Structure 1
Amino acid sequence: MSKERKGYEAKNAWLEMGEDEREEVFAFNRGYADFLTENKTEREFAGASIEKLRKAGFKNIDEYKELKTGDKVYMVNRSRALMAAVIGQKDLQEGLKIVGSHIDSPRLDLKPNPLYEDGELAMFKTHYYGGVKKYQWVTMPLALHGVVVKEDGSEIELKIGEKEDDPIFFISDVLPHLGKKQMEKKMSEGITGEKLNVVIGSIPVNDEDTKEKVKTALLDYLEKEYDITGEDFVSADLQIVPAFKTRDAGFDRGLLAGYGHDDRVCSYTALEAVLDINDPKYTAVVLLMDREEVGSMGSTGMQSHFFEDQVAEMVNLYYDNYSELLLRRVLQNSKVLSADVNAAYDPDFAEVYAEHNSAYLGKGVVISKYTGSRGKSGASEAGAEFMGEVRSLFNGAGVYWQIAELGKVDEGGGGTIAQFLANYNMDVVDCGPAVMSMHSPYEVVSKADVYHTYLGYSVFLEK
């Protein structure tokens, strides 16, 4: 596969694909689309990933008494984050090859006490999670996903709104006939967080002595159908997500529209890459982390000690005599692709994109030397040496790639988990596909970019 470059200008990947490669691209994306449709929360994504890992011969680290070349291992953190590794030919002290992504996406979480009645409607109160444009979440079909933990510790899993015969839920908006004052507000104020209330029922219980008849009817229904009481919401992780399937977009089907491309497109391609590797040069590691959309804080986020603790477990099982020095050597000699997406150039909003430094749909995986905002605030930055190494790997393997920043310098920006991995003195660079309408309920990616992201992660982990 030949690629001619002029400066940093990348060619459209579709232009040089033969029919066989196009079919590979479309086949790979069919698998991705199905996986994304089925797994819309971090719990679901982690659970489905573990199933794939076990089928491919990976074992939980608790099942090993020692680790040697060729062993395949995974570790789980509270059902919402995980790490998988294939032990490589070289000694662990020579470092790991890591592809790190996150599996959480912007959404609406139910509040701890969500159920109430108003206007003879039963409603759920929500608290939005991550950077959302609140107005995008109204008047669309929504689904309820998550888990309820009973007082006795038993768990009830819910996924309502995805099947054809399931009910869906929705958030209302004021009609334009009465929306004069709303239309005069700034876009950010037209729908506020406290108005993201989900309509869930309308039929009252037939009891004159009951004050909140619809709420009571809903509580009766939940207890009868799911064994869920009002108090059970206190110990529940329940999320409101779009009730959309991931679908082909455009007459030519070159694009893929779906909920949660940021950052499950990187997580899925990284997972597939590590599943396909049997004999890597360095130990190949894939991280699927939680909580990135809210700063990577919390026990399942990248700022927790989960990653470091699991590498310590690997070091302990690999060497006869564990030491803190060994662990530090493994970490500081490691190299990382921080697998996260970049913003795809949108011609309707061209004014926010940086000329010559924007990512385009169909031009391959995006390498971002740094992220952050304005004066590179809140980000790590890859050195020229590591940039050269990644560039050489991709060119040698025929991976289509492009270089980009996240918009114009003074327009804003964003961060990834790169900075937290860089704190271990590792070489880190951000690398993932471009996404159009990022953080919306229905994001768009190029199928060519998805496939070449997978190829890029594969060659990085294997070499």
Structure 2
Amino acid sequence: MQNKDFVNGLLDFIKRSPTPFHAVQTMVEMLEYAGFKRLSEKEAWGLKGGQGSESCFVTRNDSSIIAFRLNQPLLEHGIHMVGAHTDSPCLKVKPNPEITSGGYLQLGVEVYGGALLNPWFDRDLSLAGRVSYLDEKGEVAHRLIDWEKAIAVIPSLAIHLDREANENRKINKQTDLPPLLMKLPENSDEQVVGFSAMLLEMVNGQIAGDGAKAVKVLDYELSFYDVQAPAIIGLEGDFIASARLDNLLSCYTGLMALIDHKGQQNALLVCNDHEEVGSVSASGAQGNFLKSVLSRLCDSDESFSRTMASSMMISADNAHAIHPNFADRHEPNHGPIINGGPVIKVNANQRYATNSESGAMFRHWCELAAVPVQSFVVRSDMACGSTIGPITANELGVSTVDVGVPTFAMHSVRELAGRLDAYYLYRVLNHYFN
């Protein structure tokens, strides 16, 4: 695959994936098109554990997914794994969200993850996610929805009303963030505006004869997102600008490396939800999803342990590029450059799972794939983030390296990465799988 085709596919993937649910749905469609077989955790699989060629995937909570190609016995050859996450910091709608103030309708939101909040103001926002409802047959059903168009905005307070806005403005997550949806009609009963009624109309509009009509909304998980499409920007087209680069970029890169995998090495991709809030959930990395799947592929506890001893995990999550306006925030000699290649992330306190052996292996694969490689260490006087890498290494006892693509504005509503770096990472993962 050429760089241009890869990057165009990445932009389309992100645009189609405003929430973890939509990201998994998109990955499912791509895997099925590539000939992968869908499995259910509720049913017996009857797989041969590498005794024959098998390409399968399984999802959990519609927001996490594991896909794999098995070509050789796991016990002798292990499995090469890539891990990423489907979630990104965002604004999630509260259960009883309606707010009417000054004749306007707003929705109460909760901040999900460590979002950079300032960039959310004055953006064209839409809403997407999963809705659970009771249908006319009396059954509980679930459907993904996406308004797609801009339906909301969080207006900034004019500088005339806050003269210190550029020097000393703080954001109150409770009072400053509720998005504005509409101006209520004059003399209307403000209490009659119901968000559930809006959702019901939206769901039934999407059903349109394809299933039983929804009669009552029971619950939902909905997130606001910026409708501005991903784009290639820069005077020479050096950059990818988009929401959710952290970490849909890694999800797509791992997915394409797996789909394009033509070798004999056993290969697996896991994309977990809830990494941005600690991974503590059934579908997060601290849940048993990956271990459960791997255990079903091995025929005993002993074969599982022996398989893990012969296996490897690459935890792919974005890295901080050295910012030209804030170079002093980086450790000297460890400031990754955009379009300088994937980054090996190291932390002595095990916030990243990289050790000298796993880091050396990744460097070797980069050399074989003719891809440049960089290193990142956080300044000793600053706190370090983490990934699913240490969690997975702890849960499975598998050798793990933490890597990522250099990124600006991580956790903003619009992040920036290098057009070359995403393709560099794909080439390394493709070589690693093959």
Give the TM-score normalised by the residue count of structure 2: 0.89
Percent of matched pairs sharing the same residue: 24
Give how far 1:327 is off: 1.8
CA 1:90/1:124 → structure 2, altered by over 3 Å: closer, same or farther? Answer: same
1:154 aligns with 2:141: yes
- Assess if the C-alpha contact under 8 Å between 2:111 and 2:173 holds in 1: no
Q: Deviations over 1:4-42 (max 9, x none)?
A: xxxxxxxxxxxxxxxxxxx92222111111111121211
Could you tell me which of 400, 413, 426 is aligned with 1:454? 426
Number of equivalenced pairs? 416
Could you tell me which of 8, 14, 19 is aligned with 1:41? 19
Tell me how far apart the structure 2 counterparts of residues 242 and 255 of structure 1 sit (CA, whole Å).
18
- Corresponding position of 1:200: 181
- Assess if the C-alpha contact under 8 Å between 1:170 and 1:199 holds in 2: yes
- Report SS of the residue matched to 1:35: helix
Give how far 1:431 is off: 1.3
Give how far 1:290 is off: 0.6
Q: What letter corresponds to residue 119 of structure 1 in structure 2?
A: G
CA 1:87/1:327 → structure 2, altered by over 3 Å: closer, same or farther? Answer: same
- Corresponding position of 1:248: 232
Q: What letter corresponds to residue 51 of structure 1 in structure 2?
A: E
The correspondence of residues 54-453 of structure 1 with structure 2, limited to 5 A, is: 54-62=32-40, 64-67=45-48, 68-151=51-134, 152-160=139-147, 162=148, 166-180=149-163, 185=168, 187=169, 189-204=170-185, 210=189, 212=191, 215=193, 223-224=200-201, 226=203, 232=217, 235-281=219-265, 283-315=266-298, 322-370=299-347, 376-377=348-349, 379-405=351-377, 407-423=378-394, 424-453=396-425
Tell me how far apart the structure 2 counterparts of residues 211 and 254 of structure 1 sit (CA, whole Å).
49
Give how far 1:170 is off: 0.6
Q: Deviations over 1:230-289 (max 9, x none)?
A: 983x610100111110011112112110000101111100000000013332x1011111
CA 1:211/1:356 → structure 2, altered by over 3 Å: closer, same or farther? Answer: closer
Q: What letter corresponds to residue 409 of structure 1 in structure 2?
A: S
Give the TM-score normalised by the residue count of structure 1: 0.84
Q: What letter corresponds to residue 263 of structure 2 in structure 1?
A: D
Could you say what the CA RMSD is over the residues aligned between the two structures, in angstroms?
Answer: 2.3
Give how far 1:78 is off: 1.2
Give how far 1:227 is off: 5.1
Give how far 1:458 is off: 0.9
- Assess if the C-alpha contact under 8 Å between 2:345 and 2:352 holds in 1: no
Structure 2: runs of 5 or more not aligned? 206-213
**Deviation larger for 87-96 or 76-85:** 87-96
Give how far 1:173 is off: 2.1
CA 1:433/1:225 → structure 2, altered by over 3 Å: closer, same or farther? Answer: closer
Q: What letter corresponds to residue 141 of structure 2 in structure 1?
A: S
Q: What letter corresponds to residue 261 of structure 2 in structure 1?
A: I
Q: What letter corresponds to residue 357 of structure 1 in structure 2?
A: H
- Assess if the C-alpha contact under 8 Å between 2:274 and 2:280 holds in 1: yes
- Assess if the C-alpha contact under 8 Å between 1:147 and 1:158 holds in 2: yes
Tell me how far apart the structure 1 counterparts of residues 318 and 255 of structure 2 sit (CA, whole Å).
16
- Assess if the C-alpha contact under 8 Å between 1:369 and 1:382 holds in 2: yes
Give how far 1:184 is off: 6.2
Give how far 1:339 is off: 0.7
- Report SS of the residue matched to 1:310: helix
1:32 aligns with 2:32: no
Tell me how far apart the structure 1 counterparts of residues 114 and 220 of structure 2 sit (CA, whole Å).
22
CA 1:331/1:123 → structure 2, altered by over 3 Å: closer, same or farther? Answer: same
Structure 1: runs of 5 or more not aligned? 1-22, 316-321, 371-375
